[in-house]
Structure 1
Amino acid sequence: MPRFHTAMKLTLAAAAVAAAWSACAAEASKEGKDIQKVEVRASGAEYDARRDDTASKIIVNSEEILRYGDSNIADVLKRLPGVTVAGGRGSTDIRLRGLGNGYTQILLNGERAPAGFSVDQLSPDAIERVEIMRAASAEFSTQAIAGTINIVLRKAVRTAQREIKALAGKGKDFSQGNGVYTLSDRDGNFSYSTVLSANRLNFHWLKLIQDHGGDAQGRASLLRDADSNEVGRMEYINLAPRLNWNLANGDTLTSQSFLATNRYRVVATVDIATVFGPPQDFDGTANLVRARNDFYRTDLNWVHKLAGGGKLDTKLGLNANRNSNATRQTGASHGVPGLDRRVDILSREHGYTVTGKYAMPLADGHALSMGWDGADSRRADFRGQREVALAGKRPANMDEDFDADVRRLALFLQDEWAATPRLSVYAGLRWEGLETGSEGTGFAPVRNRSSVFSPLFQALWKIPDTKDQLRLALTRTYKAPATTQLIPRRFLANNNSQTTPDFRGNPGLKPELALGLDLSYEHYWADTALLSASGFARRITDYTRQTLLLENGRWVQTSINDGSAVARGVELEAKVPLKALMRTAQALDLRASVSRNWSRVDAVPGPYNRLNQQLPLSATLGFDYKSADTMESAGASFVFKRGGVMRISAAQSSFVTVKRDLEMYWLHKFTPKHALRLSVVSALAEDYLEENTYSDAAGSLRRNSLAPGAAQFRAGLEWKL
């Protein structure tokens, strides 16, 4: 705690400096010294953040977010240029530049989302906008090697609103029901809004698994088939209330909260048939899982206007998370029970954040701001395991406790300078320190400290006599290891092998550091028409990769820092309203994007020695139509992702198949307040294939997993009261 007390003192000192600076500015004004006021932007109607901000940013507004009637924000993000969403079936990994696994930073209202939070919990109706930032800025955390996606919850309350949405979905392997209630109003200087959403998903997910083994001479030594079935349901309900007060002196006070509770129940069975080769420990396993997650977050934000055009923006946030999981694991071989285990896990986490930003316009076109970002979170885990003695085996009963704390402090300074009407420059500095500690049963206490100093530079040049512009960004970013990667506790696999190993954390992991370069060219014409081409490069040191070890007869996977890596890529994007080409055309908007990514890990032999699970190629193509009277709208979106082979180490590699996803929607308004929405998701119903291979001098083992595809049909009604 002494270190965090020091951090809080620095926070208070920063606030005091901001107040003193404001007082000096006010005194200078009284003495008649002119302080030039910088006009950052024109009217709201003319201002376009993507076009006019020096720091590169793509804004996705609420109309685009709600267009397809999605039930969660992950489905919205997968259609955006440069964004890919991997996983599914209960797990989601959102990526920029094809890079997930922590390389892409996900923020909620400008702050890192706390542990236990998933974007799958967010209803699109609760979101005001999504900001996509390819290059880092000092104001936000620089844990953003690939870039940042900032999800901003609903803020503005312009008119009273009462709206109900009900949606039902059906597919071969699932059924879904979703409801959303939105309420907002204002009374003088007070306004409020809240979004209540509930969702229930029943599913039956099938996966066909096949293991192939070969000896040192390449002869087949193993063939094993398995059927994996997961039957269950997921339920969630969340509430996002916001209260706003406009105070008499021009200040604003805002309270924003997010509450979510989730229930998950699944019976997962695996039936294994060994055609030839050594049998597994169990030819049949079953897991009955009951899980519950409760998440709460609230922020109190005060914005105070200062003399001389300055502004102080401070926020205090509290969050808490409780996660419980009860699992019964059973296993049998040739019908003889060999495993009967119950595992109960209870995890509690709570913490707070203190952030602030002081902004002050200065002479000569400079807009200076400084700020701080501090956080402290504490986590306590309990894991209890009880086994029934079977087949003469001694039961492995154990109780494990684990405690962890994470402390973070960041200080930043940034300046945006309008050097000329055509050239603007952004420069920023950010220092970010992170301290993690953990202790528990079975391992010695572990404490890690790291800090990163990040200089940042961005420039925007609007080419004279054209609507074209060029952007440049130079950045230093990093990726800190997740807490679970630092804990040296081992998590056991039922049937241990090279392709299904145990997992253990590494307390010695260091952050990955990256130097980055971004370049882009943008051509605008008409109101929303755009053509752009961009490229990026990242040089990463202390790269973290997975390694596989054989310890006491069991395979163990862990993370290590191993050398450096390089990532680079190009992206093309087009947004073309048909009216920009033909004045008499229908209100049809066309959009397309293509992203090509390359990477190389120096410590892994090639070919295909790419960064962890990087997607080499992705593309989107879509259109949206709206009738002249706005009572009819429709659209379609096609997403293409190419996976291919990836080399994890000299002995390990993986492969994922090409993925094509087609979605369509149609919205009909019976009246301005009543509408019917129909949509089709995964219309092509493509299967999804993954492959993991281990190969050394003694032979090879390859596991193929095939998940059959299925189309999903949705129908929804919308009422505005």
Structure 2
Amino acid sequence: MRNLKLLCSVAGAALVWAVPVVAQDPDAVVEDRRDENVILPIGQIEDKDILVRASRAGEWTSVRDYTGSVTVITPRQLDQRQTRDIADILRDVPGVSVAGIAGQTQIRLRGAEANHVLVLVDGIEVSDPFAGEFDIGTLQAEIGARLEVLRGPQSALYGPDAIGGVIAYETASGRSVPGLAARVEGGTDATVNGALHYGAVGEWWDAALSAVVVSTDGQPNARGGSRDIGRDSYTVSGKGSVGVTDSLTLRTAARFIRTEGQFNDSDFDPASPTFGFTIDSPGSRFTNEAIYALVGAKLETLDGRWTHDLSAQIADVTRETFGAFGQSSGSEGDRVKASYVSAFALADQHNLTFAADYEVEGFRNTTPGGFAFTGRREIEQVGLVGEYRYSGEAFDLSAALRHDINDLFRDATTFRVGAGYRITDTTRLRAAAGSGVKNPGFFELYGFVDGRFIGNAALRPEKSTGWEVGIDQQLGSNASLAVTYFDSELEGEIFTTFPPPNFIATPANRTTVSEQRGVEVSLNARLAAQWSLDAAYSYLDAEENGVEEVRRPQHIASAALTWTAPGDAASATLVVRHNGATPDVAFIDPSFVPVRVNLDDYTLINLNARLRLTDQLSAFARVDNLLDERYEQVFSFVSPGRSAAVGVEARF
């Protein structure tokens, strides 16, 4: 009840505070209504060419000026692929690998660990402070939302957690999607998915309220199992802003997520022939609940050339698991963060930014039984950032330096530099280099599982340094190609060791270097008047001391082919996603020392179609995993087979 009251209060504030300040609303460009399938020549701007999280200045940055690697997924692309779980469309982004089971879906950028990826939702850090990473499986696609995926070290801008990059999810504002929009669908496995968005806008304000509900009985996920693994997920979010004066803007955002589901555990009976394998586990279930909120104020001075932005945000995440005899584990994590950003435009092309972050993360293990430490611990950090950006006609330059002051770990300094040069109107070269850090999390430091895991309070932060070079090539007026080579090294990687004589798992820092290098390719093309193609390919070589890292496939590829009828009266999209073979670890030895195994490659084919019935009403249908591929993303956890859904969507 306490959480529900807090949610209602913040969501209510989101409907009161609002403003039509375009510089803070990336979705406002949707009002342009241009066909996002058209690939515009370099120099012309559309929604997919706008970045918000590429700079701490909090202003729009053109993709053509960005010196790193980025993918922008527009609301239209989410709609065309009928995306319901954000994790699914991230498979179409170069350099991203996804591995999920019930209760935890992980994302890795360029071979970095899952907890090396910073996830922002409407500017709020949403990772679980206790676990150190965000379960991307709890992020549902809302009407009118968009994504930005920045690959490569971003710690110089955003601090720890951003070694691999940043994934920024932005919900629709009341200005970008005004009025009422709703969709509802039903499908196999007793699946029901509904989404609602209401946007309101005035001369000096705008506000939006969204909700998503997902309920499914699921499918079995144990080899030869019969127990369906279902889930129910509820998301409510609100955002808005208001112009107090011509120069002062207030804004707010809030989000509540609750997910309840079943899961299967592994068999840890040494006498069982299925020891270490996932088996049907009646009564095993989980509950995850999270509350996020942000308030901020932005003041413009010197005719808008000097801006000051002050914000505060909170995150409160609770996770619990239950077995046949009651609660089996639990955790609480919370974060309070305050930021001040001052951005000054020296001229049309030169920009200086200073940022200061103050953050406190709190942790508590709520696992019952009395054998684990259940007291509260906190980590405090201050980050100071300096950033310079130059955007010229042919040459672009960016540089950032950050110094983090930690109360528990040694202070750290990280950097990022990048440059881009347009050789011609259709060819651009770019290069970037940077460093990152990742502090150990609560469970790694103090976690305890009786007889299986003991934390290590002596852990030190992981450190990474990487670089990349790339080329962006326009192919005529209807296609564009991007190719990037990257290389990075990780020192002090935290891994799980099994020291004698008891061989109980405990984390430690490696003394060797972990290396990640690879190639990313993306192609966007309009093949004909009604046909468009988006394709991506990634090659990754991720090794630690010469041994291939787990859950990092060498080859990942995807392609989305879309047909749109004249006047957008109907459309159809075919999506093909291939995940190469990948190593994993299995605990099939009674000593609990991991055994390396290899997971087979797999290819998923999704097909969907949409028909516009009236100006306000559309009907749609889709089939996921059309060929009913049986595959595993994690050892012995079988992923879902074929599923289908039909539904309607209305906009007023």
Residue 327 (structure 1) aligned to one of 323, 329, 336: 323
The residue that corresponds to 1:592 in the other structure is 535
- How far apart, in 2, do the equivalents of 1:84 and 1:259 lie? 26
User: Is contact 1:111-1:140 (8 Å) kept?
Assistant: no
1:57 is paired with a residue whose SS is strand
User: Is contact 2:67-2:419 (8 Å) kept?
Assistant: yes
Residues 1:539 and 2:489 are matched in the alignment: yes
What amino acid is aligned across from residue 540 of structure 1 in structure 2?
L
- How far apart, in 1, do the equivalents of 2:350 and 2:151 lie? 23
Aligned residues with identical type, % of pairs: 16
The residue that corresponds to 1:86 in the other structure is 99
- How far apart, in 1, do the equivalents of 2:557 and 2:352 lie? 38
Q: 1:572 to 1:383 in 2, by over 3 A?
A: closer
User: Is contact 2:626-2:642 (8 Å) kept?
Assistant: yes
1:353 is paired with a residue whose SS is strand
Task: Identify, as 1 or 2, the structure richer in strand.
Answer: 1
Residues 1:241 and 2:191 are matched in the alignment: no
Q: 1:322 to 1:547 in 2, by over 3 A?
A: closer
The residue that corresponds to 1:169 in the other structure is 187
Q: 1:280 to 1:323 in 2, by over 3 A?
A: closer
1:125 is paired with a residue whose SS is coil
Residues 1:577 and 2:526 are matched in the alignment: yes
User: Is contact 2:174-2:240 (8 Å) kept?
Assistant: no
The residue that corresponds to 2:576 in the other structure is 638
The residue that corresponds to 1:357 in the other structure is 341
Q: 1:488 to 1:207 in 2, by over 3 A?
A: closer
Residue 255 (structure 1) aligned to one of 252, 255, 259: 252
The residue that corresponds to 2:388 in the other structure is 415
- How far apart, in 2, do the equivalents of 1:707 and 1:282 lie? 11
Residue 673 (structure 1) aligned to one of 616, 623, 642: 616
The residue that corresponds to 1:124 in the other structure is 141
Residue 154 (structure 1) aligned to one of 172, 177, 183: 172
What amino acid is aligned across from residue 155 of structure 1 in structure 2?
S
Q: CA-to-partner distance for each residue in 1:327-347, whole Å, 9 max, x for gaps?
A: 235xxxxxxxxxxxx545454
Matches within 5 A, 1:193-272: 193-208=208-223, 228=225, 230-265=227-262
The residue that corresponds to 1:712 in the other structure is 643
Q: 1:190 to 1:532 in 2, by over 3 A?
A: closer
1:454 is paired with a residue whose SS is strand
- How far apart, in 2, do the equivalents of 1:281 and 1:571 lie? 35
Shift of 1:193: 0.7
The residue that corresponds to 2:513 in the other structure is 564
Residues 1:143 and 2:171 are matched in the alignment: no
What is the TM-score with the length of structure 2 in the denominator?
A: 0.82
Shift of 1:150: 1.6
- How far apart, in 2, do the equivalents of 1:706 and 1:324 lie? 20
2:465 is paired with a residue whose SS is strand
- How far apart, in 1, do the equivalents of 2:633 and 2:573 lie? 31
2:443 is paired with a residue whose SS is helix
The residue that corresponds to 1:481 in the other structure is 440
User: Is contact 2:339-2:357 (8 Å) kept?
Assistant: yes
Instruction: Say what the alpha-carbon RMSD is for the aligned residues.
Output: 3.3
Shift of 1:258: 0.4
Residue 63 (structure 2) aligned to one of 50, 55, 62: 50
Residues 1:403 and 2:400 are matched in the alignment: no
Q: 1:181 to 1:712 in 2, by over 3 A?
A: same
Give the unaligned 5+ runs of structure 1. 1-40, 209-226, 330-341, 386-396, 436-447, 493-501, 579-584, 692-703
User: Is contact 1:129-1:151 (8 Å) kept?
Assistant: yes
Shift of 1:303: 1.2
User: Is contact 1:273-1:283 (8 Å) kept?
Assistant: no
Q: 1:270 to 1:351 in 2, by over 3 A?
A: closer
1:450 is paired with a residue whose SS is coil
- How far apart, in 1, do the equivalents of 2:480 and 2:278 lie? 57
- How far apart, in 2, do the equivalents of 1:486 and 1:272 lie? 28
User: Is contact 1:347-1:379 (8 Å) kept?
Assistant: yes
Shift of 1:652: 4.2
Q: 1:241 to 1:204 in 2, by over 3 A?
A: same
Shift of 1:432: 2.3
- How far apart, in 1, do the equivalents of 2:341 and 2:477 lie? 33
Aligned residues: 588
Q: 1:272 to 1:487 in 2, by over 3 A?
A: closer
Matches within 5 A, 1:415-564: 415-418=388-391, 420-435=392-407, 448-464=408-424, 466-492=425-451, 502-525=452-475, 529-552=479-502, 555-556=504-505, 558-564=507-513
What is the TM-score with the length of structure 1 in the denominator?
A: 0.75
Residues 1:377 and 2:361 are matched in the alignment: yes
- How far apart, in 2, do the equivalents of 1:326 and 1:46 lie? 43
- How far apart, in 1, do the equivalents of 2:264 and 2:605 lie? 30
- How far apart, in 2, do the equivalents of 1:482 and 1:405 lie? 11
What amino acid is aligned across from residue 439 of structure 2 in structure 1?
A
What amino acid is aligned across from residue 554 of structure 2 in structure 1?
P
Q: 1:44 to 1:715 in 2, by over 3 A?
A: closer
Residues 1:293 and 2:288 are matched in the alignment: yes
- How far apart, in 2, do the equivalents of 1:527 and 1:356 lie? 42
The residue that corresponds to 2:35 in the other structure is none
Residue 95 (structure 1) aligned to one of 102, 108, 123: 108
2:459 is paired with a residue whose SS is coil
What amino acid is aligned across from residue 590 of structure 1 in structure 2?
L
Q: CA-to-partner distance for each residue in 1:402-442, whole Å, 9 max, x for gaps?
A: 32213222110010123x5211111110112344xxxxxxx
What amino acid is aligned across from residue 421 of structure 1 in structure 2?
E
User: Is contact 1:82-1:97 (8 Å) kept?
Assistant: yes
